């Protein structure tokens, strides 16, 4: 079993010190001691595996300071010194560029020490840790966990977690889903080449991809399968460092996935319950519902629309079967994600074989949302409403509009745009139905009342040109001319059975003046 020892990365994990690795060096090197030293040719006074500390005082006043800085790095590398700590804020505010450049050439570690941190604190921390290697693994795990836990507060916790690990290990880190998609990555490793090595394999793997040494682990946080890989082209991350890092990452990923699933499930259930309450129209505590809608960015007593959505089995070219158990689950996730991207407040619930939802009636985001719905979706909107107790009627309106959208092959239809037949099927009262009929025939009512009377005669004669001509004392060509003019005014064809039905019903429902 490999003997565990104190490493530079353990010192970097001491968050109260605030040390930062500035060069492209190996953070896994062993540290046995730390010494502040400012004299010329310091390497002869230092043992191997030590951390030299300097403020750069020896370079002050030198004409060729950069050459001296490069020479210092070479001396330390030859002497087996593990790293150089540079105290910033004393001579220079940052670590000199020449030091970092030369350190990068030798893959030597240079760290910056903040001005408020005393060198003796660093010395004592290294000395104490180097003597207690028996608890090093536990100590390192706790330090990593404290550092990585901060990723939990990020809007994108997986990406932040991977970035923090990459910084700690000074390596590339990547998280793949079970189908090989990159969930999050940090660094410059060849992601597609690494993924090719993981295909069809499980467990813990070690392999090389060109100059990259890769350690990969198959993990399943929250019941979902992932690959977690660490890659470096300068050093292979040793077990004592990689093992606790992966262990901490696995635990945090489990927490992230479970928290996200729990929050998503709870939010989905709460929103669905609110939609079902509104759809029923039976609201025992109206003020509470109004307060919830306001909290969900719908405004207070704002105009709303009920929405009904369905999708064909060919939705998303059938690919929905790869990511969801049911078509409604896939449709719900897609429209919710699209609403989030469109900044559209949307509440949804699965009811029987459709999605019922609530959206703001006047939001400009509704049009953006509709335009980006995938092919195969049929969406119907009720008319605007503010009375929350009229939910049952609004559901019928939305379903009616959705059926109209399906018949016409359009993605979405608003109830105010449906035909009079759909309006009647929705069970609307006489007065609003008459207003709907008047709206559909408005171009004739407002500007051509004579043609409206002619149209009544034409329908009364069963669309027979000769019979209409005889009854109206007109030449048949005049009848045909008037029919063509009516078609132009209404922008439709009186040869379509559907249009004939709509106009006939509108004439029947139109309230005489």
Q: Tell me the two tokens of residue 164.
A: 């923090």
Mean pLDDT, residues 359-384? 90
Whether 425 is in a domain gets the answer no
Higher local confidence (pLDDT), 256 or 94: 94
Kindly report the average pLDDT of the chain as a whole number. 83
Structure confidence at residue 2 (pLDDT): 47
* 503 shares its domain with 381: no
Please write the tens of the pLDDT for every residue from 336-370: 888 888 888 899 999 988 999 999 998 888 999 99
Structure confidence at residue 138 (pLDDT): 56
Q: How many domains does the chain have?
A: 4
Question: Is the pLDDT assigned to residue 252 strictly greater than 80?
Answer: no
Question: Is the pLDDT assigned to residue 396 strictly greater than 60?
Answer: yes
Mean pLDDT, residues 471-493? 86
**481: domain CATH number?**
1.10.10.2840
Per-residue CA distances from 503 to 24, 467, 498 (Å): 78, 19, 9
**82: domain CATH number?**
3.40.1390.20
Among candidate residues 131, 166, 187, the one where a domain is terminated? 131
Chain-centre distance for alpha carbon 463: 57
Q: Which residues of 417-453 are buried (b: 16+ CB within 10 A; e: fewer)?
A: ebbbbbbbebebeeeebbebbeebbeebbeebeebbe
Whether 269 is in a domain gets the answer no
Higher local confidence (pLDDT), 434 or 295: 295
Residue percentage of the chain with pLDDT more than 70: 84
Say how far apart CA 131 and CA 161 lie, in whole Å. 31
Question: Is the pLDDT assigned to residue 427 strictly greater than 60?
Answer: no
Structure confidence at residue 384 (pLDDT): 92
Whether 430 is in a domain gets the answer no
Please write the tens of the pLDDT for every residue from 177-202: 877 888 889 888 899 999 889 887 88
Q: Residue holding tokens 């090989």?
A: 180
Please write the tens of the pLDDT for every residue from 146-160: 666 666 667 778 888
**250: domain CATH number?**
3.30.450.190
Among candidate residues 67, 101, 131, the one where a domain is terminated? 131
Mean pLDDT, residues 227-250? 70
Structure confidence at residue 422 (pLDDT): 63
Mean pLDDT, residues 462-489? 87
∠ CA 502-503-509, nearest 5°, is: 90
Question: Is the pLDDT assigned to residue 429 strictly greater than 60?
Answer: no
Higher local confidence (pLDDT), 476 or 510: 476
* 397 shares its domain with 441: no
* 307 shares its domain with 370: yes
Residue percentage of the chain with pLDDT more than 90: 24
Please write the tens of the pLDDT for every residue from 97-148: 999 999 999 989 999 999 999 999 999 988 887 776 555 655 666 666 666 6
Please tell me the pTM assigned to this model.
0.47
Say how far apart CA 214 and CA 235 lie, in whole Å. 10
Whether 106 is in a domain gets the answer yes
**377: domain CATH number?**
3.30.70.270
Q: In degrees rounded to 5, what are phi and psi of residue 198?
A: -90, -15
* 408 shares its domain with 298: yes
Report the DSSP beta bridge partners of residue 208: 213
Q: Residue holding tokens 């449709």?
A: 331
Q: In degrees rounded to 5, what are phi and psi of residue 217?
A: -135, 130
* 399 shares its domain with 442: no
Contacts of residue 372, Cβ cutoff 8 Å, sequence gap at least 6: 338, 341, 342
* 325 shares its domain with 217: no
Structure confidence at residue 499 (pLDDT): 75
Q: What is the band of 459 on the pLDDT scale with cuts at 50, 70, 90?
A: confident
Q: What is the band of 513 on the pLDDT scale with cuts at 50, 70, 90?
A: very low
* 183 shares its domain with 236: yes
* 79 shares its domain with 34: yes
Mean pLDDT, residues 404-411? 85
* 162 shares its domain with 194: yes
Whether 378 is in a domain gets the answer yes
* 305 shares its domain with 330: yes
Whether 470 is in a domain gets the answer yes
Structure confidence at residue 337 (pLDDT): 86
Mean pLDDT, residues 64-71? 90
* 208 shares its domain with 176: yes
Structure confidence at residue 60 (pLDDT): 85
Question: Is the pLDDT assigned to residue 171 strictly greater than 90?
Answer: no
> Residue 213, by phi and psi: left (phi above 0), alpha (psi -120 to 50) or beta?
beta
Question: Is the pLDDT assigned to residue 457 strictly greater than 90?
Answer: no
Question: Is the pLDDT assigned to residue 428 strictly greater than 50?
Answer: yes
Mean pLDDT, residues 254-276? 76
Whether 273 is in a domain gets the answer no
Higher local confidence (pLDDT), 61 or 359: 359
* 127 shares its domain with 144: no
Whole domain around residue 193: which residue ranges?
138-257
- Report yes or no: 204 and 225 within 8 Å, Cβ to Cβ: no
Whether 265 is in a domain gets the answer no
Among candidate residues 131, 161, 188, the one where a domain is terminated? 131
Least confident of 207-221, 361-375, 439-453: 439-453
């Amino acid at each position: 079993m490999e003997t565990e020892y104190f490493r530079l990365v353990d010192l970097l994990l001491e968050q109260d010190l605030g040390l930062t690795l500035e060069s492209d060096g190996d953070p896994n090197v062993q540290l046995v001691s730390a010494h502040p030293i400012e004299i010329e040719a310091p390497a002869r006074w230092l043992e191997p595996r030590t951390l030299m500390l300097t403020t750069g005082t020896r370079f002050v006043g030198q004409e060729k300071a950069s050459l001296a800085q490069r020479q210092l790095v070479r001396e330390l590398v030859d002497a087996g010194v593990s790293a150089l700590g540079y105290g910033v804020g004393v001579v220079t505010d940052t670590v000199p560029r020449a030091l970092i450049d030369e350190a990068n050439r030798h893959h030597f570690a240079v760290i910056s020490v903040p001005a408020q941190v005393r060198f003796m604190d660093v010395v004592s921390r290294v000395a104490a840790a180097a003597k207690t290697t028996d608890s090093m693994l536990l100590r390192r795990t706790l330090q990593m966990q404290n550092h990585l836990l901060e990723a939990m507060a990020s809007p994108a916790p997986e990406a932040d977690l991977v970035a923090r690990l990459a910084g700690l290990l000074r390596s590339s880190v990547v998280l793949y889903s079970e189908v090989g998609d990159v969930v999050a990555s940090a660094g410059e490793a060849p992601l597609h080449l690494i993924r090719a090595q993981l295909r069809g394999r499980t467990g813990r793997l070690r392999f090389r991809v060109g100059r990259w040494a890769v350690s990969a682990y198959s993990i399943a946080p929250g019941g979902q399968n992932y690959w977690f890989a660490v890659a470096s082209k300068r050093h292979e991350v040793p077990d004592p460092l990689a093992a606790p890092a992966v262990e901490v990452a696995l635990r945090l990923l489990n927490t992230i996935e479970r928290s996200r699933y729990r929050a998503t499930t709870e939010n989905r259930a709460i929103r669905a319950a609110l939609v079902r309450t509104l759809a029923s129209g039976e609201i025992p505590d109206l003020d509470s519902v109004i307060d919830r809608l306001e909290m969900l960015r719908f405004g207070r007593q704002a105009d709303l629309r009920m929405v009904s959505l369905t999708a064909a089995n060919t939705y998303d070219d059938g690919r929905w079967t790869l990511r969801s158990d049911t078509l409604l689950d896939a449709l719900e996730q897609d429209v919710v994600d699209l609403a989030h991207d469109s900044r559209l407040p949307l509440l949804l619930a699965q009811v029987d074989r459709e999605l019922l939802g609530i959206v703001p009636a006047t939001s400009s985001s509704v049009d953006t949302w509709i335009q980006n719905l995938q092919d195969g979706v049929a969406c119907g909107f009720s008319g605007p409403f503010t009375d929350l107790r009229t939910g049952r009627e609004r559901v019928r309106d939305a379903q009616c509009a959705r059926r109209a959208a399906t018949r016409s092959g359009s993605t979405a239809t608003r109830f105010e745009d449906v035909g009079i037949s759909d309006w009647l099927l929705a069970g609307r009262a006489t007065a609003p139905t008459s207003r709907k009929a008047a709206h559909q025939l408005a171009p004739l009512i407002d500007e051509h009342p004579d043609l409206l009377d002619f149209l009544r005669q034409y329908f009364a004669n069963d669309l027979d040109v000769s019979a209409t001509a005889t009854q109206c004392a007109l030449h048949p060509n005049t009848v045909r001319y008037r029919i063509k003019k009516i078609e132009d005014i209404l922008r439709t064809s009186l040869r379509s059975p559907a249009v004939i039905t709509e106009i006939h019903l509108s004439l029947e429902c139109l309230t005489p003046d």
